[in-house]
Amino acid sequence: MAEKKNNATKNDVAAAQAAQNVPKELKKPLNKFGAQEDFEASDGTKYKFQFPGTRRAQEILDETKNGYGVVVDSVYYERIMKDVIVEPLGMDLDYWDEHEGYREVMNAADNFLGRLLN
């Protein structure tokens, strides 16, 4: 009887070790955290979007609604620039005083975030 217990334990250990050797992509095939996408605006400027994770994405949506539950675009886009657009660095609303494509880039970043939240 002790033999069976030892064999079962050995088999359990072997199975656990085999599971640890599975590549990360197979363990978490839908791991979206940190997923990135490159976007080139019509003026040729390149931007990089990065998914901040489901929790942070939901917080962005919650933080940007007014008392009636309507999203305030200026606040939403500020959060997008801070937490989703990772290149170029340090973007804020003032950046757009000297660059074209504000709506185009914000719409692309919003679509990126929405796709990964689905």
- The two tokens of residue 76 are 């939403």
Closest among 86, 76, 83 to 107, alpha carbons compared = 76
Domain count, the chain: 1
Please give the pLDDT value at position 82. 97
The helix/strand/coil state of 39 is: strand
- The two tokens of residue 14 are 């072997």
Q: Residue 78 is part of which domain span?
A: 30-117
Q: How far apart, in whole angstroms, are the C-alpha atoms of residue 47 and residue 40?
A: 6
Please give the pLDDT value at position 11. 78
Please give the pLDDT value at position 72. 98
Strand residues in the chain grouped as ranges (E): 36-40, 46-50, 85-87
Report mean pLDDT in 10-residue bins for the chain, 118 residues: 62 71 59 91 97 96 96 97 96 95 98 93
Q: pTM of the predicted model, to two decimals?
A: 0.73
CATH code of the domain in which 99 resides: 3.30.2220.30
Please give the pLDDT value at position 33. 83
The answer to whether residue 23 sits within a structural domain is: no
